[in-house]
Amino acid sequence: MAEHAQGRTASDLILGALIVLLGLVVLGHTLVATKVSLLFLGWLLFAGGVVTLAATLFRIGKDGFWLGALGGGLMTVLGIVFLRHTHAAAVTVTLVAGAMFLATGLARLVAAFQTPAARVPLLVSGVVSTFLGLLVLFNLVDASLVFLGIMLGVELLAEGVAIMIVGRDTLGTARAGRIASAT
């Protein structure tokens, strides 16, 4: 515990508190947060697609040209769809997220019965993920209006609390270690 206290500074406490405050604001305005996050994602997809298409022009006649052109074109069109039809994009992203929650929950429930050492945590997380997946999928239209905003708000709250507890240096080191071990 002393190691965590040394990694935390006053600026970490201030930054963490500001992120928690931002998370609370986002949770208070989930509809706006959902729309803004989808518009941001739409612009990122559009810009990434245009840049990919432009970079692909330098590869005409070489290996990977058609793959780059197809990927860039798809990203550009997807970005335009996200920007022009935000509600349809929200439903689509919410459907994918609900399906992922459900699949992850079911996989954890199966793993809980195959792994006696981690049975309880796997059962709890599996039940929660399965419940969230079913909740989202059975209320898809209603959930799509606020789902991304809620997810963003909860993530901001968790990140802010984590920064206040352990500090940015410790979190950065832990993330770098996880990334390095995954590769």
What single letter denotes the amino acid at residue 24?
L
* Average pLDDT value for the chain: 87
pLDDT in tens, 78-120: 999 999 999 999 999 899 999 999 999 999 999 999 988 888 8
**Does residue 173 surpass a pLDDT of 80?**
no
Query: Who's near 136: CB < 8 A, 6+ residues apart?
Result: 94, 97, 98, 101, 143, 147
For CA atoms 51, 54, 58, 63, the dihedral sign is positive
**Does residue 174 surpass a pLDDT of 70?**
no
For CA atoms 172, 173, 178, 181, the dihedral sign is positive
**Does residue 165 surpass a pLDDT of 90?**
no
Tally of residues, the chain: 183
**Does residue 50 surpass a pLDDT of 60?**
yes
Quick one: pLDDT at residue 54?
A: 94
* pTM summary value: 0.70
Give the DSSP letter of residue 63. T
Q: How far is the C-alpha of 171 from the C-alpha of 54, rounded, in Å?
A: 37
